[in-house]
Amino acid sequence: MVDVATLAGVSLKTVSRVVNNTPNVQPELVERVLAAVAELGFRRNHLASSLRSGQTTATIGLLIEEIANPFYAAIAGAAAEVARRHDTMLIIASSEEDPAREQQLLRDMCARRVDGLLVVPAGHDHSFLRAEVELGTPMVFLDRPPGGVLADTVLLDNRGGARAGVGRLVEAGHRRIAILLDSIGVYTMRERLDGAQDALAPTGAPYDTRLVREGIRDPAAASRVVAELLDQPDPPTAFFSMNNRITLGVVEELCRRGSDAALVGFDDFDLARLMPYPLTVIAYDTRELARTAAELLFRRIEGDRSWPRTVVLPTELVERGVPPR
């Protein structure tokens, strides 16, 4: 900047004014400065400017589990769009579901003085962020609630969605309904399981724990569990899958066998219409989830100091056919 000022024959401060589009600079000087900027290939150092001015880095951080996963990619896309409207850059980091890594990444983002944080929690204890929150760094949690810190949270109606999905199977006459889920350690899975039980309770059907299978991490595992369940003496007549990876494996195995068991899955599919199986699902708007969270965050960044709130977004039962019992 000193070089530019020298070349343009003005003071350093005038260069700063021109570079920042401050009004009240003589057009002639503006031109001279701009010429010098071009000639020297000057590029403003954003770090230095936000170091001195102190308030904003025009950057927010997004912490997710894994960017290659379509769910998180959708979140990142919606967050990026909102960030863009606020002329803000987005730092994206993946926790890989590792709480230690989550903590390290969040600390690092804070050290970079992001203006705010959008977090899909991996761990259950976020009290280490309390100091940061008190220091005034806004943060919004999404998809899962934080632990040990009071902050804005945007969630899906997991319980209501699962209740509706299993309810639909009950309505179709099913009583032996297998429930397939990933780790019970994850908040969303616990909520969905509660919802499933809400729907099952009024039927008076005995709650058969052998029909609830936990720890299914991928489609292949889901296929194996389905095979095992169908080979039992008293097989289930319907399946409730708690995420789309599992649903995929269930579809594969049901098709392989030409089974007429019913299936309802949590999470919608891009290609559901082309599936060789009527796929009724519980859908929700992932982008809306992220958009809501990001907009809440920017409201905070712009100075909103109201009490933290929790927003719950609805889910929708997308009916594509449910074979009766």
Between 11 and 310, whose beta carbon lies closer to DNA? Answer: 11
H-assigned helices in 44-157 = 46-53, 70-85, 99-111, 130-134
From CA 229, how far away is CA 216, in angstroms rounded? 14
Kindly tell me which residue out of 4, 18, 90, 155 binds a copy of itself, with binding defined by CB under 8 A.
90
Between 57 and 247, whose beta carbon lies closer to DNA? Answer: 57
From CA 311, how far away is CA 293, in angstroms rounded? 9
Using the rule CB under 8 A, give the single segment among 76-84, 182-190, 193-201, 228-236 that binds a copy of itself.
76-84
Here's the x/- map for a copy of itself, 268-307, by CB under 8 A: it reads as ---x-xxxx----------x--------------------
**Residue 175, C-beta contacts closer than 8 angstroms, at least 6 positions apart:** 203, 205, 237, 325
Contact flag: residue 26 with DNA (CB under 7 A): yes
- The region that residue 304 occupies, defined by phi over 0 for left and psi between -120 and 50 for alpha, beta otherwise, is beta
Burial (0-12, 13-18, 19+ Cβ within 10 Å), 47: exposed
Contact flag: residue 34 with DNA (CB under 7 A): no
Kindly tell me which residue out of 1, 172, 212, 311 binds DNA, with binding defined by CB under 7 A.
1
Between 44 and 256, whose beta carbon lies closer to DNA? Answer: 44
Contact flag: residue 14 with DNA (CB under 7 A): yes
Q: Which does 271 bind (CB under 5 to 8 A by kind): a copy of itself, DNA, none?
A: a copy of itself
Q: Which does 182 bind (CB under 5 to 8 A by kind): a copy of itself, DNA, none?
A: none
Length of the chain: 325
Q: How far is the CB of 287 from a copy of itself (least distance, A)?
A: 8
From CA 74, how far away is CA 77, in angstroms rounded? 5
Q: How far is the CB of 310 from DNA (least distance, A)?
A: 33
Q: How far is the CB of 212 from a copy of itself (least distance, A)?
A: 26
From CA 252, how far away is CA 255, in angstroms rounded? 5
Contact flag: residue 43 with a copy of itself (CB under 8 A): yes
Helix (H, G, I), strand (E, B) or coil at 234: coil
Site for DNA in 45-74 (CB under 7 A): 45, 48-49, 51-54
- What percentage of the chain's residues is helix, strand, coil (to nearest 5)? 45, 15, 35
What number of other Cβ atoms are within 10 A of residue 184's Cβ? Answer: 11
Contact between residue 242 and residue 181 where contact means Cβ atoms under 8 Å apart: yes
Contact flag: residue 251 with a copy of itself (CB under 8 A): yes
Q: How far is the CB of 39 from a copy of itself (least distance, A)?
A: 11
Give Cα separations from 94 to 2, 72, 232, 275, 286 (angstroms): 40, 10, 40, 31, 18
Give Cα separations from 158 to 75, 113, 164, 314 (angstroms): 17, 33, 10, 8
Q: How far is the CB of 51 from DNA (least distance, A)?
A: 4
Give the residues lining the site for a copy of itself (CB under 8 A): 41, 43-48, 50-51, 57, 59, 66-70, 72-74, 76-78, 80, 84, 89-94, 107-113, 131-132, 135, 248, 251-252, 255, 271, 273-276, 287
Give the residues lining the site for DNA (CB under 7 A): 1, 10-14, 16-17, 19-20, 24-26, 28-29, 42-45, 48-49, 51-54
